Structure 1
Amino acid sequence: MNTKTKIPPAPLSCYDNLEETLTYAWALLARGVKDRKSAFHTPTIATIGANNAPHLRTVVLRGCDIEQQSLRFHTDKRSSKVLELAKNPLAAIHCYDAAMKIQLRLDVDLKLIDGAGFEKAWTATRPMSRECYQVTASPGSPIDDPYEAVFDADATQDGEINFAPVTAEVKTIEWLYLAAKGHRRAYFDLTQTPVKMEWLVP
């Protein structure tokens, strides 16, 4: 019987290099903004709720500024996450690509964007996305029937009055790469100058 040995895929080019690993991590996040098929397009974010427990939800990654070390997502200003970030801006973001076997865990500070940044984010928002902010009641409000949720473009100024862009200032990044040759785990503290980089036991 002729059996072929399955050759494991070659590891990433950044496999043994901390600086290149950090660059690769940012590249994945930047790609997540534009590529809807990317696993990094919809990360999970955790905030601390009023009960001091973590609250998880999925958001859509709308911006990545590598120079400023920040990410951006949009939400409804009446949502619980806005109330939570006002009390405690510290949050965590998790991304995992099952195909690439790469996990990123980020510690971030959340801030609402206003002024010119708000206008720029709103102007770039597509009509389909704006519908999310045209609901007249606050997200999460209890209703007796799903059809009771009312969307009114005029009353909500096309949704603009409920729109809330949020910036996530990245403080740390933890990288995990599951490779057949051997896993790689690394930690980056972006609050340090230069950035503190170290390998961790996988």
Structure 2
Amino acid sequence: MDAALADILTGAWATLTRGAADRRSPVHTPVIASIGTSTGSDATPDARVMVLRHVDPAAATLRFHTDARSPKCRDLDGRPVAVLAYHPGQAVQLRLHGRARIVTQGPEADAAWAASTPFARRCYLAEHPPGTPLPAPGSGLPADVEGLKPSEARLLQARPHFALLLVTIHHIDWLHLAQTGHRRARFEAADGWRGRWLVP
């Protein structure tokens, strides 16, 4: 892989890593797309915005958090997914393809749970799974934690509902928009990474 392509790949991972660490980054909330089963058809595409929590360039893995009871866990676990992020300051679009898996137990899930704030963990106290119909607008949270910081003891009841969505990336499509001419490159994971230039 030539030096320019190598620099682009390094920069793409750096953008994603910064996006996970900085909630003000436009890359902090990418779109995750999949072919859904919860909508009733394996052929129905679905997409949702999720918060990028951690990036591991060495393992080519992105980490998100979700409710283990959510229908999207069935859509995503073990299946191919696409991740779309755009950074307007860099004029760079990143389209990533990989395979997802849902993790609810183990050291990685426990560490992510412990590192989350009480308010972030509070949403997993919802009494019913995401998507459950309500008679009126509401958060689904129990009255004793609505708008309040739960105690650690109360949050223990939420832990079984917490899950990691891990996406192992196999392809990265990088597009830079410029008035002087767009540039596009594609990278594939195969005993390291291979890159090539494409027509934008």
Q: Same fold (TM over 0.5)?
A: yes
Query: Which SS does the other structure have where 1:26 is aligned?
Result: helix
Offset of 1:81 from its aligned partner? 1.3
Q: Deviations over 1:166-198 (max 9, x none)?
A: 1110110000000233211000001x1242210
Offset of 1:146 from its aligned partner? 1.8
Q: Within 5 Å, which residues of 2 pair with 1:23-172?
A: 23-50=10-37, 51-52=41-42, 53-86=44-77, 88-113=78-103, 114-147=105-138, 149-151=140-142, 157-172=156-171
Offset of 1:148 from its aligned partner? 7.6
Q: Which amino acid aligns with 2:123?
A: C
Are 1:156 and 1:162, in contact at CA under 8 Å, matched by a contact in 2? no
Query: Which SS does the other structure have where 1:161 is aligned?
Result: helix
- Which structure 2 residue ranges, 5 or more long, are not aligned? none
Are 1:106 and 1:172, in contact at CA under 8 Å, matched by a contact in 2? yes
Query: Which SS does the other structure have where 1:20 is aligned?
Result: helix
Are 2:122 and 2:155, in contact at CA under 8 Å, matched by a contact in 1? no
Q: TM-score, normalised by structure 2?
A: 0.86
Q: Which amino acid aligns with 1:121?
A: A
Which aligned segments of 4 or more residues in structure 1 are displaced greater than 4 angstroms?
A: 152-156
Q: TM-score, normalised by structure 1?
A: 0.85
RMSD: 1.8
- Which structure 1 residue ranges, 5 or more long, are not aligned? 1-15
**Aligned residues between the structures:** 185
